[in-house]
Structure 1
Amino acid sequence: MLHLVVSFCLCCWCLTDGFGEIVSVLEGDSLLLHASNIHQDDDLVWKFGAEKSLIAEMSGAAGIFFIYDDVLDGRFRNRLKLDKVTGSLTITNIRTEDAGDYELKISGAILRDTTFRVSVYARLPVPALIRDCSSSSSLSSPSNCSVLCSVVNVSAVSLSWYKGNSVLSSINVSDLSISLSLPLEVEYQDKNTYSCVINNTISNQTTHLDINTLCQTCPAKAETLPVLYQSLVLWQIVLISVVAGFLLIVTVIGIVCICNKGKTIRTKKKNTKHSALCKPKKRKTKSKTQAVYENVPKKR
């Protein structure tokens, strides 16, 4: 009999003590964490996160209630509500940074611990459908229509194309916030129902494909030349023109320099000849002896 009583007590502890609930909620909603089986004289505390920060407490016997919404740099400021009868905790306008473990400790006739593991999901955007005229299949086959389903800044989601209720293709993303695109090829005359769906654990958004509206005829191939390529060609033309103009200017300057150099050389030669003509001639100086005998008659 004693063995049965001990076993019953252990089973009750396992059910009431330990991990409690997994809760998922959308960003911006209000979250209610229930404190069940509270007695009038019980004391309880609410803690949050790995550091177990105290965010609320209640003493039923003393009739004291406290909310500590200024902890963690005021993360919960003006967003916590404590029910003074049940001890349940409400978090309003919940945010993604509010995700984590919320621990409830109840002290009374029985000590009880319960942990709520809360996941907060961002609200999903509506998928956008875009006609992809740059697709090779759209250009090669006029009867085909290429469509892109796109979403931006999403995490922990799945993006899928459906044909009726059957999944045609799907792509998943983890916790990274990125943009996703998923292509689909259909024919203009296709009468099936197609839809693009983005979903996470607790919500989804759907956009239906209207082939007659979206799948209009793509422009001719020549008209689909990318703007970037056109700009590149234009810049090449401008660059070639600039280089040609620069070379022309250098050539003209070189010719002018050569002409000026030749003119300078001819001017120097002319100046040298003129100097030689204008230079005074040196008179031959006679010696004194020659001067003395110059007037003496020579003997015959």
Structure 2
Amino acid sequence: MKIARIRLKNSVETYGIVSEDGTKIITKEQIQEKTGVPIPPRIKEFLFGGWLEEVNSVGANLTFDLPLNEVDLLAPLPNPPKIICLAFNYYDHARDAGLTPSEEPVIFLKPRTALNSPHGNVISPSYVKRLDYEAEIAVIIGKQVKKVSEENSLDAVFGYMIFHDVSARDIQFRDKQFTRGKSIDTFAPCGPWITTRDEIQDPQKLRITTKVNGEIRQNSSSSNMVIPIRKIISSLSELITIEPGDIISTGTPAGVAMSMKEPRYLKHDDTVEITIEGLGTIRNRILFN
């Protein structure tokens, strides 16, 4: 199942279930009207309160009438408890950066104020001269875990989505740490929806592609992750309580501008398009102010 948060033409925000082909949606109001299931008003309650099973039980009654191109897609989760991001978690990306990958997650936190819609503009301060793109698979946690084993860690996953970890490299290099250069408002486009875990047979076998103005820059697979998702969750839970709604972004593969022999950083009016197998496509225009 694909669950999206949207804004209707009348500016009302709501959420719903997206059709299998990703072209239409049925809103929570329509689900309730057609099935009698009393859908909760907020998406977080729907995702993590057991309502999915309820809706699945009446799924045959659902019809998708509203085209997605007639609504605005929003960031699927407006207020996650935590956004945890991994650095250098792909062999090819670490190699290009001249680093030896760590056997434990190297993390930083990104504030929820950085969240952006899947088609929203990324607005960078004009003084940033080395703006970079990073396509990532994000894990949406569905239940609280602490010190969970690798064998059981994927049971905590609700679903997956695309995460664009936009990075101001000049700030990052100057600070010698990640947080400030990655935390600017709009620097975390994500979506286009949350794809539930059951739709992704193996999260370690997903094709990841990034295009800048139509040119392929990143073309890799989640099979190149240094630390697989099950170990990421287990390792993090040794120290951090992982909660429903947490977003864990699992790192980016090779092909970022920073690692090019002649870096080609993002410019004003560039378009970045990220496609991840099974998760959809997000597209963001770059603006400097």
Q: Under a length normalisation based on structure 1, what TM-score does the superposition of the two structures give?
A: 0.25
Larger Rg: 1
**What is the TM-score of this pair, normalised by structure 2?**
0.26
Q: More helix by proportion, 1 or 2?
A: 1
Higher relative contact order (CA 8 A, sep 6+): 2
